[in-house]
Chain A
Amino acid sequence: GENVEQHPSTLSVQEGDSAVIKCTYSDSASNYFPWYKQELGKRPQLIIDIRSNVGEKKDQRIAVTLNKTAKHFSLHITETQPEDSAVYFCAASETGGFKTIFGAGTRLFVKA
């Protein structure tokens, strides 16, 4: 069945450094790739998403890249801050369906 793998499971960086989280998906029909951030004790919230007709999208310190041929996409956070500490989930879904498959999550620690 469909699967989304996410790496690493834990990531620790120094404040100001960059963080990269990578995901691969198995369903070639997937064409929508959102990223959610979940702070401790809070609900997941969308931080950025990308559709298959573009290869890269950027929003301030956050960027996502997509390689449809290789079936992988990545989240890049630059100039990390302590408030970026959270669990980040990637996900994939396909047109015509509501089924969203989530990765297992990456726990990001940003050390001040």
Chain B
Amino acid sequence: ETGVTQTPRHLVMGMTNKKSLKCEQHLGHNAMYWYKQSAKKPLELMFVYSLEERVENNSVPSRFSPECPNSSHLFLHLHTLQPEDSALYLCASSRGENYEQYFGPGTRLTVT
């Protein structure tokens, strides 16, 4: 399962740190997504990029900042996070709207 990769797989950071999550897709897809997965909650869509343009921003706090330099790479820059931001962050890609999304393995983030 190497179509969508994410690094790092695990991250522990303090509330004052700055870190970045990276996602890369090798499927030739045009759309990329960031989701937050917390225990006992639905998958929450955070951001969507289509052809490197942000098309969805789902009321996400500004301490999360996405970047999509090209259609194969997606970043999520993190700064001054809160403990409640601890979760699994999943990246996904798709051919376009209303097509199957292929997920990465996720980054397990812990904010201390």
Interface residues in chain A, defined as those with a beta carbon under 8 Å from any beta carbon in chain B: 4, 31-32, 34, 42-46, 49, 51, 89, 91, 93-105
Give chain B residues whose Cβ lies under 8 Å from the Cβ of A45. 103
Give chain A residues whose Cβ lies under 8 Å from the Cβ of B101. 34, 46, 100
Give chain A residues whose Cβ lies under 8 Å from the Cβ of B44. 102
Task: Say what secondary structure dominates the interface of chain A.
Answer: strand
In contact, A98 and B33 (Cβ under 8 angstroms): yes
Looking across the interface, which residue of chain A has its beta carbon closest to that of B31? A98
> How far is B31's CA from A100's CA once the two chains are assembled, in angstroms?
13
Closest 5 CB pairs of A and B: A32-B98, A43-B103, A102-B43, A98-B48, A46-B100
The reply on B84 being an interface residue by CB < 8 A is no
Task: Say what secondary structure dominates the interface of chain B.
Answer: loop
> How far is B44's CA from A101's CA once the two chains are assembled, in angstroms?
8
> Among the listed A49, A89, A95, which residue makes an inter-chain contact with B97, where contact means beta carbons less than 8 Å apart?
A95
The segment from B12-20, B50-58, B62-70, B73-81 found at the interface with A is: B50-58
In contact, A105 and B42 (Cβ under 8 angstroms): yes
Give chain A residues whose Cβ lies under 8 Å from the Cβ of B90. 43-44
Give chain A residues whose Cβ lies under 8 Å from the Cβ of B31. 98
Give chain A residues whose Cβ lies under 8 Å from the Cβ of B103. 43-45
The 16 listed contacts between A and B (C-beta, < 8 Å) are A32-B98, A42-B105, A43-B1, A43-B103, A43-B106, A44-B43, A45-B103, A51-B98, A89-B42, A95-B97, A95-B98, A96-B97, A98-B31, A100-B33, A101-B42, A105-B42
